Structure 1
Amino acid sequence: MTDALDYRFYGLSGNPYVNRELDPRREDDRQLLLELDVLPPLTQIREHIARAAAADESAAFLLSGRTGAGRTTLAHKIFDLYREEREIGDTFHVVSYQKIDHDSLARVNAVIKAIRNKISRNHPDRRDELMSRIPNAEGIVPDELDLQARADFLAEVAQSVRPTMHIGLLIDGVQDDAFMDALAVAFQYVPAVVVVTRDAYNTADTASAERLAERREWQRWARHLHLSPLSGSDVQRIATNRWHIAAGEVECPFEADGVRSTFDQRREPIGRAIRWLGWLLEGRLKTYEGDERWPAADELRMPARWIESMVQMAGKAPRDPEDDHVDRH
């Protein structure tokens, strides 16, 4: 039904409120990135990166938040700030790792192998050496110091090849509270940027915040950043920014006070807030039966009372248990 909507009534080619990962390397994404109230100040991130760069160590971050909180987008922003601080261009390479493993040492070893494979693909002449020092088939998982030696070896290779390879490591999930400590030991002296994302839920595959807080090793190494749900003012900024990017100077049909008051009462992570805005825009367009276009068609305006009633009504709609499970995780 969404495909049949004619967004030209709003002067749009499509719905501008679509949630996706953003990367500041893409020009179209840069204008969508806002410094929201709930996000950590970029000055703090830059300072942490600068201190690590001065010591020739890794700059590490743990990003915690609900599903849709914008952790991956913030990770891309951190990578961009790291490239800027280190004056790195096309020689920056991101290695992503997502596999679940409750054995922390085994998982760190697998992460190291993922970096090995990245270097090997870019420099096949070093493949034999890399596979010899970090082999695939192993009966025993290396201990922390062996893992540190392997990570240091990869750093030496990455620095020695031409062009030099600068590594950004993006790890999705923390299953065991010992993982961050093991990662800190292995990568502390590797000149790279390491970003770990963590769901802010207590599940069988997520280490609890309480247990992580009790460990000190990783906290001396990594900066822990929490991505909170948005304030109403943040949602209003997103609504206005995305509207004017798509529609130019045409008045935004969302009444600002209505967006602020509604989402101050219903705090949502950024991804879900954007989907709410898209749903509201669709809903207004689906019920419109006129011929005039916005802003001449005042029926296409979204006043505060309408926004609040629509969101409240949707929140009371019947739900399947499976839907609740998806929202929690």
Structure 2
Amino acid sequence: MKNGASQPRFLLRGLSYLLSSMNRFDRVTAILIQLQARRKVSGATLAEQFRVSVRTIYRDLRTLEEAGVPLLGEPGVGYSLAEGYRLPPVMFTREEATALLTAEKLAARLTDAPTAQLSTAAMDKVRAVLRRPDRDHLDHLAPHIQVLGPRDQAGRPPAYQQLGAAIAMRRVVRLRYQTAENEAPTTRDVEPISLLLSRHWHLVAYCRLRQTIRNFRLDRILGLEQRTEEFAARPALLQEHWATEARRRPREQVVLRFLHQIQGTVDGALQQLMVALLGSFGLPARRHVVPEHQALPARGRLGPQADPLLRLRQPHFVRGRPGGFGQLQCSPQSG
């Protein structure tokens, strides 16, 4: 009886040891990936990421060294892999591969042709190291993921990659830019800061012609040339620019009242825009402040079934649009 009672305890201890060994193996593998992905990483950073002690991280690093991984340690800075050391192909989980497939679809629709081609080439390398069931999973899933852009992207200039390289190296770029269709193109030198997607791709850059930070639409760039001149960062000016942009775009208060018959029509995106659910919904009135250019198209999707009460500071936004928007009241937004 005594031996029978000790057997479950022995099995539990063995299972606990096995699980801890598996967890440590996963952690050591993840540390190896982190070392490959970053130039340097500290033991404290790894300890915080994996929620273990720094001493445990040091033991894991010694395990990697004993396995033949050439680690370089710099006191007060962190650890890195020796230059030229390459790891064998990394195995992706099915979920990670699906996320990368989504990124490929986004790049194909929302960037320029060279970036889309590079994304496809990178995804082919991912597929090459996947297990066959996971590769089949992606092949079955790919036709069912679609990204609908605002328009055909075929004519988009191949500026994305060049501008990305200039941003990373802090190199001045000379742009030939079309400010408007009825104006002559201008040539200007800019200091590229970031790329921004908001309906269109924009380059945020310091314009030396205007002596301020400006946004340039990539589809209006007629030509660009990367210069050899490097520039210094302008963090204070950039913060001031974003603060000005936030003040420049007013947010309007919109109240929508929906009939009981269309309750099922209200989707998740529209629920974020709602400011009131009244009557048959049985919920108290709620207000949500949104940009008018988001709220009104959402109202338009519901058609004449909706009985909206729109309160806007700029009623001219809705005048002249087909179909109308129901009863309109104008009042300044409080606060």
Q: Scaled by the length of structure 1, what TM-score is found?
A: 0.24
Higher relative strand content? 2
Q: Which has the higher contact order (CA 8 A, sep 6+)?
A: 1
Q: Scaled by the length of structure 2, what TM-score is found?
A: 0.23
